[in-house]
Chain A
Amino acid sequence: MRKPSVARKLAVIVAPMAAAAIVVPLSIGSSHREAPNIMLDPSADNTDVYAWTAPDAPNAITVASDWIPGQVPANGPNFFRFDDRARYYINFDNTGDGVADIRYLFRFSTNVRNPDSFLYAGPGTQGFNDPGLNVIQRYSVTRERYKHGKLKSSHVVAKGLPVAPPNIGPKTFPNYDNFVDASIRHLSGGGKIFIGQRDDPFYVDLGATFDAINVREGTGNQGEGKDDFSGLSTSAVVIQLPEQKVTKNGKPVAGLDAKNAVVGVWSTTDRRRLQVTDASGSSSKARGRDSRFVQVSRLGNPLVNEVVIPLGKKDQFNRTTPDRDADLYGRYVLNPELAAILNALFNVGAPEHKRTDIVQALLQGIPDLNQHSGQNAGTPVDTLKLNLGVPPTNNPDRFGVIGGDNAGFPNGRRLEDDVVDIELQVIAGYLVGNKVPLGDGVDQNDKPFLTEFPYLAAPTSGFDSDPSNRTEPPHSPVPPGG
């Protein structure tokens, strides 16, 4: 039985008519085209962005950006694919104004060796050059430089690189690692890149049963949660660049106080806009005009669009750029609905208004930690702000900054940072003295991350796929903030 992503399952519940199962026109002819009511867009929706300094690459910035979350490995590979017609970006803002200064653009192209075969790969396919591999998606990487929002230069830094295929199973790919190894490539001018299916690094418990809840006794942070993303995969772009490639002055970062130390990161996806009719209203000449692109998704800090932005504004959030965040969405951050819900549910005493602490933590950057320097210091923009001068630690605390670990979220975001617990506690008021030990009971990803590039864990194979939802073992209660 097919089991789609957890996020999409929930979207069946929450988004109006979000996911159509079999779309059936209930008419006796096709008098009405029963058009798809699908507003989900997994191949465009940015699902997670991580930006951190890796311990094994301390002078580089490492970014992982995921699309198509929660892939059930057994569901087959045909649709875990980037969209050949879309444009995928990782954006860097090194001046703090919320406008991209450096952009890396990824474009994809699928090649099918034998168009008469609908098989992804035959049994025993050993690697990319094996004739048994029928479908291969390749990509190019273009580095764009901007000044004040205007494109100044554009260079292709990689071309024709292969996307690591989905891990269909050991019969089809007896040596899946061959693909992974062959997919780690170098960029002209410096840097490493990997694109392909990996284990979805997001971890959260969506719950199976209700237990009674009593927040005053401490809630959720002693484990026993089930990771609902356990066993599921995602399509990941992992890029590692020498830090001077993204800094304001094109030089390495001397230390955490350096003026060029902080870089904002976010990902976006553009789709082709279509012109329905031409200027005269006739539709017949429209086909030549389908060349402009529209931003359809963006993601900086985790869970902002989900938790903070109201339903009626989500489409707008997805098509706007961070430089307008203060104007457009500031009030939703200052008055987060989730705080009210937490209070109504559990009476945690979360302040519901004037949450300048959240604005600072997520949008402005924390002073003396990850605020941009210079005239844009403290401009509220939804980007992941990473201070490249803060050295990585070999003992990360999943609570990041509120756990006393300044190398963690919201100073960038590492794979192991428990953003669910962190954001719950921050919304409850951790930064303004209301420290409530909230959590979802899941502290880590089901699979350990790698200590080397590409850092995300290997994807579960389709054959082994049994999304059994790893359960976090119990442990002593953790005080708020870890």
Chain B
Amino acid sequence: MERHGRRSVPAPRDDETKWKRPGEARRERREMPRRTADHFLVTLLRWATPLAACVVLALVLARVNGGGHANPPLPEGPSLADLAREPLGRSTEALVESLQAAVRVNPGDAAGYAMLGNAYYQRARETGDPAYYTRSQGSFQEALRLDPKNVTATIGIGTLSLARHDFRAGLMYGERAARLTPDLVRPLTVISDAQVELGRYGEAARTLERMARLKPTLATYSRVSYYRELHGDLRSATGAMRLAVAAGGGSPENAAYVQALLGNLQFDRGHYAAAEHAYEEARAVDPSYLQAEAGLARLDAGRGRFDKAINRYRRVVERLPLPEYAIALAETEQAAGERPGARRDFGLVHAEVRLLQANGVNTDGDLALFEANHGDAARAVALGRGAWDAAPSVRSADALSWALYKDGRIRAAGRVSERAMKLGSRDPYFLYHAGTIAAGGGKDDLARRLLGRLLRESPRFSPLYAPRARTTLNGLRP
């Protein structure tokens, strides 16, 4: 499986025949005024913030003084300004349509492609359909072909690379964007994410410090929280996430997202009532927020309410068919003894992974864990090695160490496990893996410490693995 560099971009899978791939777009000739108007909407939108857009849009869409149109009427369909009125959910679809129309009319304008790339990426996030990643990539690439210095496309393709787990590309594009606009903070979010996932924690800390110094907002707070979490400082991570929650005012999605993240932190700390409260707060803001639903499912499973948990996970998976949720569902079914359901849903995971891979997502790290737990250990090791080579983070080390352990290579697993634990993470899965590996290698004191901490602090972390952790702990020499 390729990990590096460009993948070939498959054609869009559905019938969006309106959209032509870059280079194939019909270069239609349009009357000047329509082209001008579209072009300038695109022009202004490219660098304008909302109110600037207001101003010039307002002008562009000003009414004539009665009668006589010297210029022919514009085509049917939603205009770039129409979607300004649309609700957010619908607006992304309408936005995509309008931008597709705009790039058809102005195929030489990078800004239109850059915005289209963003809109496709947004659709991917809304629908969970990785096919949008592919379209997004194509649009960004066309934008950069037309204008290599386009900031929007550079940041966009960087963010997309991260989402696809191509962290080196993410870093490259993030740094390029930072050079293009040295005073803008947005590129730093791409850079810091890439640095964390590449295991460059010192550099990440410096980038985050810079972000916190220049523009402490929700995006900064949640990233600092994650950095602290990786270092095992869950209390401070929670504090930083609370800042993000307080800052989240004004947008349902922001508010729900960070509440769910807060819920996850509280869950990992074993503060189950607080976790439930946070998930419910997320749903009070957005009743359909699926991450919160998944969090509540995890709580149900932790309380032994398997039926409830399975129903919740099913609801989530139906709407957002992502491997993360399918695995949680399948593992809960397995813990509940529902073998056929578990088998079916593990199969679902494979299908979803294939779809991600087909759309350029590097699934090595997560797939390594999945294969180690539910599949072929040797394959898991190969995947884990690939993940480590591409992104030498504690997370990759954790996956590789577990794969090695499952493949019977205890000593190698132990060595890699040290790397995984070097920051002092208290991620329950890290503790579970490292503690089990230590026990397997005869390092009883270490195993006792790690598994003891795990079961003290996060006893309900998994309906499937918590019992195994307990068995291992109990089996240690006193």
Q: B-contacting residues of A (Cβ < 8 Å)?
A: 1-17, 19-44, 68, 71, 75-76, 78-86, 115, 118, 204-214, 217-225, 228, 271-277, 281, 283-284, 286-287, 290, 294, 296, 302-303, 305-307, 310-316, 318-319, 337-338, 341-342, 344-346, 420, 423-424, 438-442, 469, 477
Q: Please tell me if the beta carbons of A28 and B370 are within 8 angstroms of each other in the complex.
A: yes
Cβ of A66 to closest chain B Cβ, rounded Å: 12
Contact A29 B79 (CB under 8 A): no
Decide if A341 touches B43 in the complex (CB within 8 Å): yes
Instruction: List residues of chain B with CB under 8 Å of any chain A CB.
Output: 33-34, 36-37, 40, 43-66, 68-74, 79-92, 95, 115, 118, 121-122, 124-126, 128, 130, 133, 151-152, 155-156, 159, 162-163, 165, 167, 180-186, 189, 193, 196-197, 202, 205, 208-209, 212-224, 226-228, 231, 233, 235-236, 239-240, 242-243, 246-255, 257-258, 277, 280-281, 283-285, 289-291, 320, 322-324, 327, 349, 352-353, 356, 361, 363, 365-367, 369-370, 387, 395-396, 399
**Contact for B115 among A2, A5, A13, A314, CB less than 8 A:** A13
B433 → A minimal CB distance (Å): 12
**B280, A21: Cβ atoms closer than 8 Å:** no
Contacting pair A212 B64 (CB below 8 A): yes
For B58, list chain A residues within 8 Å (CB).
204-207, 220, 225, 420, 424, 439-442
A218 to B63, CA, bound (A): 9
Known: A21-B126, A21-B253, A23-B257. A283 touches B61 (CB 8 A): no
> Pick the contact of B251 from A4, A31, A44, A310 — CB < 8 Å?
A4
A207 and B365 within 8 A (CB): no
Would A20 and B53 count as touching, CB distance under 8 A?
no
Nearest-CB residue, chain B, relative to A313: B183
Q: Which of B50, B89, B182, B217 contacts A1 (CB 8 A)?
A: B89
Q: Are A307 and B222 in contact (CB under 8 A)?
A: no
**With A82-B249, A284-B231 in contact, is A24–B48 under 8 Å at CB?**
no
Closest 7 CB pairs between A and B? A220-B62, A207-B61, A42-B250, A28-B323, A440-B58, A43-B249, A312-B181
The 14 sampled A-B contact pairs (Cβ below 8 Å) are A9-B84, A21-B253, A24-B290, A28-B353, A28-B366, A80-B250, A204-B54, A205-B62, A211-B61, A212-B69, A274-B224, A294-B213, A312-B184, A440-B58
Q: Judge whether B249 and A286 touch: CB under 8 Å.
A: no
* Cβ contact of A10, chosen from B50, B118, B125, B387, cutoff 8 A: B50
Among candidates B57, B80, B285, residue contacting A79 with C-beta atoms closer than 8 Å = B285
Q: Would you call B62 and A438 a contact (CB within 8 A)?
A: yes
Is the beta-carbon distance between B85 and A341 smaller than 8 angstroms? no
| Known pairs A30-B324, A39-B217; A214 contacts B70 (CB<8 A) | yes
Q: Contact partner of B52 among A80, A118, A307, CB < 8 A?
A: A307
Question: Contact between A283 and B228 (Cβ–Cβ < 8 Å)?
Answer: yes
From the candidates A2, A218, A344, name the one contacting B88 in the complex (CB within 8 A).
A2
B216 x A12 contact (CB < 8 A): no
Q: Are B183 and A10 in contact (CB under 8 A)?
A: no
Query: A306's contact among B52, B88, B125, B224, by CB below 8 Å, is which?
Result: B52
Collect the chain A residues with CB atoms within 8 Å of residue B322's CB: 24-28
A289 → chain B closest CB, angstroms: 10
Q: Is the CB of A273 within 8 A of B212?
A: yes
Of the candidates A78, A83, A440, the one whose C-beta lies within 8 Å of that of B285 is A78
- Report yes or no: B246 in contact with A35, Cβ–Cβ below 8 A: no
Assess whether B73 is in contact with A271, with CB atoms less than 8 Å apart: no
On chain A, the residues within 8 Å of B289 by CB distance are 22
A423–B54 Cα distance when bound, in Å, is 12
Tell me the nearest residue of chain A to B355, going by C-beta.
Answer: A26
Which residues on the B side are within 8 Å of A204 (C-beta)?
54-55, 58
Residues of chain B contacted by A223 (CB below 8 angstroms): 63
Please give the distance in Å from A362's CB to the nearest CB on chain B: 14
Q: Which residue in B130, B220, B280, B399 is a CB contact (below 8 Å) of A118?
A: B280
The reply to whether B219 and A37 form a contact with Cβ atoms under 8 Å apart is yes
In Å, the complex CA distance between A70 and B233 comes to 38
